[in-house]
Structure 1
Amino acid sequence: MTHPDTPHLDRVAGPADLRQMDDRTLARVADELRSEVISAVSETGGHLGSSLGVVELSVAIHAVFNTPMDKLIWDVGHQCYPHKILTGRRDRIRTLRQKGGLSGFTKRSESQFDPFGAAHSSTSISAALGFAVGRDMGQPTGDAIAVIGDGSISAGMAYEALNNAGHEGRRLFVILNDNEMSIAPPVGAMSTYLSRLYANEPLAKMKSLAEGFEAALPQPMRDGAKRARQLVTGAIQGSGTLFEELGFEYIGPINGHDMGQLLPVLRAARARATGPVLIHVCTVKGKGFAPAENSSDRGHGVAKFDPVTGQQAKSKPNAPSYTSVFGQALTDEAARDPSIMAVTAAMPSGTGVNILADRFPARVFDVGIAEQHGVTFAAGMAASGLKPFCAIYSTFLQRGYDQVVHDVALQGLPVRFAIDRAGLVGADGATHAGAFDLAYLCNLPGFTVMAASDEAELVHMVATAAAHDSGPIAFRYPRGSGTGVALPERGEVLEIGKGRVLQEGSDVAILSLGAHLDECKAAAGMLEAEGVSVTIADARFAKPLDTDLILRLARRHKALITVEQGARGGFGAMVLHELAAQGALDMGLCIRTMTLPDRFIEQASPDDMYADAGLTRLDIADTVRQTLGLERKVVQFRP
């Protein structure tokens, strides 16, 4: 079926079709592809701005290179919507980020055109070098092309890969997609450096023309001409671009929205490259859709929207988000304590520290996509006597784990870790799930680990962390709206390692950690309607455990159920270790630990994901029944 608005795109069933088209037709395909991306994302929501910025680049790469034999790796992967449309997934593009639908990132299991999955940044060059070695060792793979943004290339892992790739000297293509706009304005020297290259575009064009002229000269004359040009431009020996110093052939900057530049440059690079090549492409995030181009974040992550006006669908007003509650609580604490600082890794608004930055800008540090550096930087501040709050999503804190262990825990430094997006997060799927932080932090000596059951508890935990100077402390909280509880005027400092009992019963104790407490209360209500007497406790602390509370629950009930929004090896495991050490398992206590299952949970709504994980109120109630040996009763409610 053809569409009147996309006659040229309709002729593309896969990249092979692009290779039969002339350059003028490819430019039209790009225009139609942009319209298709806007139309699709208006229905699904998602990463709009980054995808619009690479429309022409997506068409040009697939038209020039022989994908899927040539391996195209997108970094971060959230800009892959045009790529997915061109690679046989157009008919499913409106299932993006939904249950059973296309992933919002590249995914190996989804298509042969996605050779490497990415949803965390700065991995593409390392992976591409791996493919290049595979090719050189006789594996059935062609060229490797990494497309990496200026924000992603600021991370240390990208430098490590560039350095290694330059040293290896293998044929490899890195396309630097420089849009001068990552989620937050990219920070640091690399951004300034790229901006300076961008500003010197006429010089770059002159350089490429001069090099082309020199290349046609006999060798002795060529060397003389090159020396003469270096004297004129001041580009003396040793002052090439950083990428040239690392061993890459540098081409650019070129206009990433001009097919007349993109296609010839990519063809020339593919025809002539013998070693690693870096092609510096300048693009505009949100290109071609004014509401995205004019937005402060260039339409990074959008809800469903009107494709004509760009007006995003507003959700009904609800309780404040955990993120905003954290940001406000931290700002209130910082107003009373000038030693409080905040560190974030390219996510000031995502973590809520922008609220603090608006009031105390000198006390917020955005280190860019550099979690390793951010954690050790915070450790240094803590060692100096400051009180740093390191605000990093659970899924991204994984990237700085060695630093958490070696630089923070081992030295007992009081870095405060604010861990947003704990638990399952919905449309971003398994790559962004905050599943592992309880397991990876609870095993570190001297760490204090808290989990907020509602937004009021989060305010108390911010105050507790601010007051805690004897070692590292972390508190986790989920994505999205809070429960709607009243917020305290000021957070109270909680007693370290002490939980609370919300209601007393006699048959079973449900010990909850974190934001699943409401599900536990709902399960208890169902069980009580069937005659089961339920105690509900909120652990508050995964480490140190409230041993007195846990032993009391174990002694006074037939069964103990722990519930957490995390993987095996976390809170439930800590409780089991403690009960075993205290001999509480020797007396026939029935205990069950409810965690995320030992598999990755695919994208869906958070409710659907928890249902898939077996962690709904129904699952909790069923676990209690099975543990107590009860049949499920059907309760008749009469009007």
Structure 2
Amino acid sequence: MESKVGRLLNQINEPNDIKKIDPREYRLLAKEIRQFLVHKISMTGGHLASNLGAVELTMALHLCLDFPNDSLVWDVGHQSYTHKLLTGRKEGFDTLRQFGGMSGFPKRSESNCDAFDTGHSSTSISLAIGMAKARELKKEKNNVFAVIGDGALSGGMAFEALNNAARLKSNLVIVLNDNQMSISKNVGGMSKYLGNIRTSTNYTEFKEDVETKLRKSHIGNALADSIKGAKDAVKRLFVPGMLFEDMGITYIGPIDGHDVKQMVSAFESASKMQKAVIVHVCTKKGKGYLPAEEDPSAFHGIAPFKPSDGTLKNKEKYLTYTYVFSRKMVELADKDEKIVAISAAMPSGTGLNRMAERFPDRFFDVGIAEEHAVTFAAGMASKGMKPVVAIYSTFFQRAYDQILHDVCIGRLPVIFAVDRAGLVGSDGETHQGMFDISYFNSMPNMTVMAPKNVLELEKMLEFAAGFDGPIAIRYPRGKAYTGLKEYDTKIEYGKSEKITDGVDIALLAVGSMVETAVKVRKILLQHGIDVTIVNARFVKPLDEEMLSDIGRNHRYIITMEEGILTGGFGESVSHWYQENAPQMPFIRNIALPDKFIEHGSVEMLKKKYKIDAEGIAEKIMDFTGALYQ
């Protein structure tokens, strides 16, 4: 792949510049865009396959829309790289997803051509309807387009929006980007339905043939116009379901999502209708780069790689918590036939692909439908099964009510495997797993655990498999901690584990922060400060006996967690001491601030917000020093 900017791409420096390109050169421009994306993402990492598949689609949208006057809403938004290129952000790709650099998702603060800050799935149609209604009320004239993938269309929110889209009295164009993939291959009824449409060309061929013959005469023209009212009945004969038309939304397609001319024609026709219209385009995820075409899941979100063959530049192999979870799940399921696993369209990302291979009848991928995943698990638990729901921390947020209402009220034994808990880095605000302690902590009947290392994760999963009630186990992304294996006391409900004994300061650390606490202790020992380290193990319930003990024997207590301060472990500890300690120790809560954390490497973000070892040690010395004076 060429590294330099192509001749045509070099002419695009401002929004709408694509309209100056000769249509005969659109194919070459698409090639140049793909070369640019492969080259840049190979250096920074990012979402590659989804963007390669959406190149011509984005070009067609930009040829039909006028930026920034028109609004283009991207569902999820990780496929918006070509949109960024066509709105004059080439230079930003050198710092893509890096600290202080360009976001990998749409950002209004980055460009007025980005209609909304997106990052989670199934939101674009709702957003676009809101924008269209605002346009109506303000009596403005501009286009509103929403792009949604077939995977995102499996999310319940998308159907809620479609239900309302049919009531619009002004134009809204919903572009369904159908590549048969979300991150992994799509599943479920909607996927099957779209597959039937893709392969059912009978209706399209019949309609074109009849219309061509009728238009050859004056009488035929009149007849062609008059039979429009009968088109729904004809469609139902040839296309299974016609779900969208039945809902009152005009359907156009399927059309080739790599044919710019065909898409421009469809978008222009759709934008003239005073109602909601779905334009169904079929694309190939990873198109134009063979490694991504052959394995689109691997190139969905990828680290820096070699453009020549797609292999990763950093081949360092290390143990991850996700891998340990995956391995342990199969082991537990092998011993207990009541254990089942549930994924929300991310079997590989959460490690449940092993479970799917070993026990296919006890693995369920429900698609991008976190709310359904949780309530589905509740139903299974209510009938004696032991469901394990594995979802990233940031996506568990979408099922808060289902966890609270459908699982916790009934004290059902559902295990929530909270992957990517804490800072995740380059995907930024929408993906940081920093809220799970707070939202799980707020739920009555919920138990919340966090392992200090890989061995403890396995033991916590064993404990959870025998626990009669809702339980969440949170663990971080990336390299797993293998230290402190000599500290291997039995897990008892609500009990913490003391790692070291000191006399000056007690560090109460949650999960990943135990490793950091060990480093903090080394720094403080150099300053003559003796430190107790406590591995909390349980965020909820608190180990009240331990709190009472260290409260009597330490003047300073520092809580440490890789989550937001508000509603977190530290606040629970502080509140306990306020309620139960006559002579309350001095307490300092170390956590992430009450704000959304931007994108950047995890190491850089920890340093910025001073939750790395050096930053925490500095805070502790400032805190204790001020109190000594």
The aligned runs of 1:283-432 (5 Å cut-off) are 283-295=283-295, 297=297, 299-318=299-318, 320-432=319-431
Q: Counterparts of 1:405 and 1:571 in 2: how far apart (Å)?
A: 19
TM-score normalised by L of structure 1: 0.93
Residue 205 to residue 127, structure 1, CA distance change in 2 (3 Å): farther
Partner of 2:550: 553
Deviation of the 1:170 alpha carbon: 2.9
Residues 570-598 of structure 1 show CA distances to partners (whole Å, capped at 9, x for unaligned) of: 1111112211221x1x4252111111011
Contact 1:214–1:225 (Cα < 8 Å) also in 2: no
Partner of 1:44: 44
Tell me the amino acid that sits aligned with residue 608 of structure 2. Answer: D
Q: Counterparts of 2:589 and 2:386 in 1: how far apart (Å)?
A: 35
Contact 1:214–1:226 (Cα < 8 Å) also in 2: no
The aligned runs of 1:151-550 (5 Å cut-off) are 151-201=151-201, 203-207=203-207, 210=210, 221-222=223-224, 225=227, 235=237, 241-270=242-271, 272-295=272-295, 297=297, 299-318=299-318, 320-469=319-468, 471-485=469-483, 494-550=491-547
Contact 2:45–2:303 (Cα < 8 Å) also in 1: yes
Residue 42 to residue 254, structure 1, CA distance change in 2 (3 Å): same
Q: Counterparts of 2:210 and 2:583 in 1: how far apart (Å)?
A: 85
Q: Identity of counterpart residues, as a percentage?
A: 44
Deviation of the 1:94 alpha carbon: 2.0
Deviation of the 1:239 alpha carbon: 7.2
Tell me the amino acid that sits aligned with residue 467 of structure 1. Answer: G
Contact 1:18–1:26 (Cα < 8 Å) also in 2: no
Partner of 2:585: 589
The aligned runs of 1:67-86 (5 Å cut-off) are 67-86=67-86
Deviation of the 1:20 alpha carbon: 2.9
TM-score normalised by L of structure 2: 0.94
How many residues align structurally? 623
Q: Counterparts of 2:432 and 2:233 in 1: how far apart (Å)?
A: 54
Q: Counterparts of 1:482 and 1:404 in 2: how far apart (Å)?
A: 27
- Which segment is superposed worse, 20-29 or 533-542? 20-29
Q: Secondary structure at the match of 1:137?
A: helix
Deviation of the 1:340 alpha carbon: 0.4
Q: 2:613 aligns with which of 596, 599, 617?
A: 617
Contact 2:381–2:412 (Cα < 8 Å) also in 1: yes
Q: Counterparts of 1:109 and 1:357 in 2: how far apart (Å)?
A: 41
Residue 141 to residue 321, structure 1, CA distance change in 2 (3 Å): farther
Partner of 1:635: none
Deviation of the 1:482 alpha carbon: 0.7
Tell me the amino acid that sits aligned with residue 348 of structure 1. Answer: P
Q: 2:561 aligns with which of 561, 564, 580?
A: 564
Q: Counterparts of 1:317 and 1:287 in 2: how far apart (Å)?
A: 28
Tell me the amino acid that sits aligned with residue 534 of structure 1. Answer: V
- Structure 1: tracts of 5 or more residues without a match: 633-639
Residue 492 to residue 44, structure 1, CA distance change in 2 (3 Å): same
Tell me the amino acid that sits aligned with residue 531 of structure 2. Answer: V
Contact 2:17–2:86 (Cα < 8 Å) also in 1: no
Contact 2:270–2:277 (Cα < 8 Å) also in 1: yes
Q: 1:601 aligns with which of 597, 605, 626?
A: 597
Deviation of the 1:211 alpha carbon: 6.0
Contact 1:558–1:628 (Cα < 8 Å) also in 2: no
- Which segment is superposed worse, 622-631 or 539-548? 622-631
Residue 66 to residue 296, structure 1, CA distance change in 2 (3 Å): closer
Contact 1:169–1:247 (Cα < 8 Å) also in 2: no
Deviation of the 1:296 alpha carbon: 5.3
Residue 549 to residue 225, structure 1, CA distance change in 2 (3 Å): same
Q: Counterparts of 2:126 and 2:65 in 1: how far apart (Å)?
A: 20
Q: Counterparts of 2:601 and 2:235 in 1: how far apart (Å)?
A: 57
Q: Secondary structure at the match of 1:342?
A: strand
- Which segment is superposed worse, 347-356 or 296-305? 296-305
Deviation of the 1:145 alpha carbon: 0.6
Contact 1:510–1:562 (Cα < 8 Å) also in 2: yes
Q: Counterparts of 2:3 and 2:440 in 1: how far apart (Å)?
A: 53
- RMSD of aligned C-alpha atoms? 2.4
Contact 1:590–1:627 (Cα < 8 Å) also in 2: no
Q: Counterparts of 1:289 and 1:217 in 2: how far apart (Å)?
A: 51
Q: Secondary structure at the match of 1:62?
A: helix
Contact 1:460–1:492 (Cα < 8 Å) also in 2: no
The aligned runs of 1:5-24 (5 Å cut-off) are 6-24=6-24
Residue 359 to residue 165, structure 1, CA distance change in 2 (3 Å): same
